[in-house]
């Protein structure tokens, strides 16, 4: 019986698989952060629109200047938050792109080693099969020689 196939680079394959999983986790984390920021930006824009709607005064209605100023200050703070959130989204988007590239690279490296393992396994199986066939042929020849009458 032939010995079992062992892939010499199995530890490297495990390392590459772990790197791929780490890259997947990082990308997922960053994409979640990006989604949270996008949701936050959307809610800020909705709040801004609602505040602008509340600021409108009907025709013939008097304007409360204190209320008007406080609404303006609030709108300025919302616009600042929108700007900060937009910049943060741009920063996180860059990180997401980098993480996506890292995941692609890790996946490619993992697949390369998997294909190498498959090729080596196929080669090993072929050699074992060839060796077994050779042994079977030798047995058949020995049986034939043992059973055949000896002509002297």
pLDDT, tens digit (0-9, with 9 covering 90-100), for 36-55: 999 999 999 999 999 988 88
User: Which pLDDT band, with edges at 50, 70 and 90, does 2 fall under?
Assistant: low
Taking CA atoms, 58 is separated from 54, 63, 82, in Å, by 10, 9, 28
CA 127 – CA 118 distance, rounded (Å): 14
CA 85 – CA 146 distance, rounded (Å): 89
**Which structural domains are found in the chain, ordered by start?**
12-55+64-107 (1.10.287.1700)
Q: What is the pLDDT of residue 149?
A: 65
Residues 6+ apart with CB under 8 A from 89: 34, 37, 38, 41
User: Which pLDDT band, with edges at 50, 70 and 90, does 109 fall under?
Assistant: very high
Residue 35, token pair as written in the block: 């989604």
Across 26-30, 57-61, 71-75, 124-128, least confident range? 57-61
Half-sphere exposure of 101 (CA within 13 A, CB side): 5
Q: What is the pLDDT of residue 62?
A: 78
Average pLDDT over residues 68-90: 95
Secondary structure of residue 10 in the 3-state scheme: helix
Residue 83, token pair as written in the block: 């700007």
CA 27 – CA 34 distance, rounded (Å): 10
Instruction: Tell me the pTM.
Output: 0.74
């Amino acid at each position: 019986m032939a010995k079992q196939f062992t892939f010499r680079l199995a530890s490297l394959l495990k390392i590459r698989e772990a790197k791929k999983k780490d890259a997947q986790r990082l990308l997922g984390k960053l994409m979640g952060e990006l989604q949270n920021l996008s949701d936050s930006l959307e809610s800020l824009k909705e709040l801004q629109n609602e505040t602008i709607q509340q600021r409108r005064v009907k025709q013939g209605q008097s304007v409360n200047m204190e209320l008007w100023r406080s609404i303006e200050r609030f709108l300025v703070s919302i616009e600042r938050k929108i700007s900060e959130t937009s910049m943060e989204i741009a920063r996180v988007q860059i990180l997401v792109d980098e993480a996506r590239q890292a995941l692609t690279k890790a996946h490619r490296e993992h697949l390369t080693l998997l294909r190498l393992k498959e090729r080596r396994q196929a080669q090993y199986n072929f050699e074992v099969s060839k060796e077994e066939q050779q042994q079977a042929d030798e047995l058949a020849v020995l049986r034939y020689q043992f059973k055949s009458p000896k002509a002297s």
